[in-house]
Structure formats: structure tokens, C-alpha cells
Amino acid sequence: MNSIMERWIQTCRRELLDRILIWNQRHLLHVLREFETFYNEHRPHRTLLQAAPLRSLPDPSTVPAEITCLDVHRRDRLGGILREYQHVA
């Protein structure tokens, strides 16, 4: 099997499927679609220098006033199993 897919399946099982009870095929497909979106658009990846595959990192801020006053919002997905944190400007 492809090593990239093996890694994705391992991550999906560890971060999602081990923490949720799947009721039926429709529920499974919904959960996997949500995880796929989370994985590709938000979750940081070490090999991409903490960027997501479909989202690049913003330029770092060097202004001290911006660094000390950070407003961060959390968005829960799948009932709080997946959490997205976003800096609000």
C-alpha cells in the first residue's frame, strides 16, 4: 500500500475514528468528509512548515502591539472532536 495513504489512515484513526461512535454508512461518510476538509484546509503539517496543504501560512508579524493583542477564536467541528483555531483581525 502507498505509504502516504497509510499515514493518512493512521492519522484519521488516531485523531477521529478512535474518538467517535459511527452509527451507519451515511454517518461515516459525513464524518470522513469533515475530517478531509479539516485535514487539507486547517490542520498544520510538519513537512509543510506548519502550513495546511490547501492554505499557506501568513507572513509573521514583527509589530509588538500586534503580538501582545491576539484575538483567537475556536471553531468546533464534529461536536468538538476536531477544533480549529483562527486569529481574528
- C-alpha span between 74 and 77 (Å, rounded): 10
- C-alpha span between 49 and 68 (Å, rounded): 23
- Domain regions of the chain by residue span: 3-87
pLDDT for residue 28 = 92
pLDDT for residue 26 = 95
Write down the pTM of the prediction.
0.62
How many Cβ atoms sit within 10 Å of the Cβ of residue 44?
Answer: 11
pLDDT in tens, 3-34: 878 888 888 898 888 888 989 999 999 999 98
Record the cell numbers describing residue 35, joined without a space.
475530517
pLDDT for residue 82 = 77
Q: Between 86 and 1, name the one with better pLDDT.
A: 86
pLDDT in tens, 36-54: 888 777 766 655 655 666 6
Nearest to 43 by CA among 20, 16, 69: 16
Record the cell numbers describing residue 5, joined without a space.
495513504
82-87 and 72-77 as β-strands: parallel, antiparallel, unpaired? antiparallel
